[in-house]
């Protein structure tokens, strides 16, 4: 019987670690951006629609954009042990605006100082472009998920975008482009998941034991 209990507990724990909940964002200030292009808005990152985008304003001579180093900061409603990030890349007429190289930084107090962006990132990843064509991607954005290093705790996460699929590199000394489509970038949606807390795991394990006891009767 002890062996059965052990098997049930292991199964419950495996189920708990596979389960991960979407992290709620701070209601008053869920997301901040380095800039926002005039025809987009930050709410487009938070809505359910994959066809609405946030887009940075770019660094341009023709449209007045001054954003050489686009970034987003996501603020959670509390400190969480972050498990993963899932992103849906830019969906629009020019999918090359989509994000390519990303550096990730975290903060426990919700602030990032001025040097944060040039410090060593917690980790980095590369997103795939949504679609393969310059114009009109054939499919809706698909989720791309990346794991945080084990045990990462954060109140805020900063995503710093280093390049887009046009081939433009975002650097403080990058040259301006005539139009925003070259020097901008964008995303449709971003979500984070949390590692279940030990208390949750214990509750699930107790639930498993209770089920086991019922099963014995
Ligand atoms: Ca959206």
Class of domain 21-195: mainly beta
Compute the distance between CA of residue 61 and CA of residue 164 in angstroms, rounded to an integer: 19
First to last CA, the chain: 13
Could you tell me the distance, in angstroms and rounded to a whole number, from the CA of residue 87 to the centre of ligand 1?
10
Side-chain half-sphere CA neighbours of 105 within 13 A: 21
Query: Which ranges of 19-126 does DSSP label H, i.e. alpha helix?
Result: 43-46
Could you tell me the distance, in angstroms and rounded to a whole number, from the CA of residue 175 to the centre of ligand 1?
29
Q: Helix crossing, 2-18 with 198-216: angle to 10°?
A: 140
Quick one: pLDDT at residue 20?
82
Please answer whether residues 86 and 190 qualify as being in contact, where contact means their C-beta atoms are separated by less than 8 angstroms. yes
Q: Where in the chain is the domain with CATH 2.60.120.260?
A: 21-195
Listed residue (84, 72, 103) closest to 149, CA to CA: 84
Could you tell me the distance, in angstroms and rounded to a whole number, from the CA of residue 117 to the centre of ligand 1?
25
Q: Which residue has the tokens 């006891």?
A: 213
Q: Give residue 184's region: left, alpha or beta (phi > 0; psi -120 to 50).
A: beta
Which residues lie at CB < 5 A from ion ligand 1? Answer: 44, 47, 49, 52, 188-189
Quick one: pLDDT at residue 93?
79
Could you tell me the distance, in angstroms and rounded to a whole number, from the CA of residue 190 to the centre of ligand 1?
9
Quick one: pLDDT at residue 39?
92
Could you tell me the distance, in angstroms and rounded to a whole number, from the CA of residue 51 to the centre of ligand 1?
6
- pLDDT tens per residue across span 57-96: 999 999 999 999 999 999 999 999 999 999 999 998 788 9
Could you tell me the distance, in angstroms and rounded to a whole number, from the CA of residue 142 to the centre of ligand 1?
12
Q: Give residue 194's region: left, alpha or beta (phi > 0; psi -120 to 50).
A: beta
Quick one: pLDDT at residue 92?
82
Could you tell me the distance, in angstroms and rounded to a whole number, from the CA of residue 78 to the centre of ligand 1?
23
Side-chain half-sphere CA neighbours of 186 within 13 A: 34
For residue 4, pLDDT over 60 is answered with: no
Compute the distance between CA of residue 2 and CA of residue 212 in angstroms, rounded to an integer: 11
> Could you tell me the two tokens for 132?
């393969």
Could you tell me the distance, in angstroms and rounded to a whole number, from the CA of residue 74 to the centre of ligand 1?
15
Quick one: pLDDT at residue 170?
97
DSSP characters over 12-51: HHHHHHH--EEPPBPSS--EEES---TT--THHHHSS-SS
- pLDDT tens per residue across span 165-204: 999 999 999 999 999 999 999 999 999 999 987 766 666 6
For residue 150, pLDDT over 70 is answered with: yes
Residue 89 is given by DSSP the state E
Please answer whether residues 82 and 192 qualify as being in contact, where contact means their C-beta atoms are separated by less than 8 angstroms. yes
Could you tell me the distance, in angstroms and rounded to a whole number, from the CA of residue 143 to the centre of ligand 1?
12
Could you tell me the distance, in angstroms and rounded to a whole number, from the CA of residue 89 to the centre of ligand 1?
9
Give pTM, 2 decimals. Answer: 0.85
Could you tell me the distance, in angstroms and rounded to a whole number, from the CA of residue 37 to the centre of ligand 1?
15
In 3-state terms, what secondary structure has residue 178? coil
**What is the pLDDT averaged over residues 17-44?**
92
Could you tell me the distance, in angstroms and rounded to a whole number, from the CA of residue 23 to the centre of ligand 1?
17
Query: Could you tell me which residues come within 8 angstroms of residue 39 by beta carbon, excluding any fewer than 6 positions away?
Result: 55
Could you tell me the distance, in angstroms and rounded to a whole number, from the CA of residue 36 to the centre of ligand 1?
14
């Amino acid at each position: 019987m002890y062996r059965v209990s052990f098997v049930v507990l292991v199964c419950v724990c495996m189920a708990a670690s596979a389960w991960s909940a979407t992290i709620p964002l701070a209601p008053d200030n869920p997301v901040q951006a380095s800039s926002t292009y005039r025809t987009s808005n930050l709410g487009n990152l938070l809505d359910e629609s994959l066809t609405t985008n946030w887009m940075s304003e770019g660094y341009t001579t023709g449209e007045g954009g001054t954003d050489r180093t686009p970034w987003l900061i996501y603020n959670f409603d509390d400190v969480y042990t972050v498990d993963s990030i899932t992103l849906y890349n830019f969906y629009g007429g020019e999918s090359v605006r989509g994000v390519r190289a990303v550096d990730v930084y975290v903060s426990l107090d919700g602030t990032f100082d001025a040097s944060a962006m040039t410090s060593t990132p917690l980790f980095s990843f590369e997103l795939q472009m949504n679609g393969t064509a310059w114009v009109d991607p054939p499919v809706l954005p698909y989720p791309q998920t990346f794991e945080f290093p084990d045990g990462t705790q954060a109140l805020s996460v900063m995503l710093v975008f280093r390049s887009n699929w046009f081939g433009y590199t975002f650097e403080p000394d990058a040259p301006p482009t005539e139009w925003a489509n070259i020097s901008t970038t964008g995303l449709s949606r971003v979500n984070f998941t949390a590692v279940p807390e030990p208390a949750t795991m214990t509750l699930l394990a107790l639930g498993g034991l209770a089920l086991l006891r019922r099963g014995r009767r």
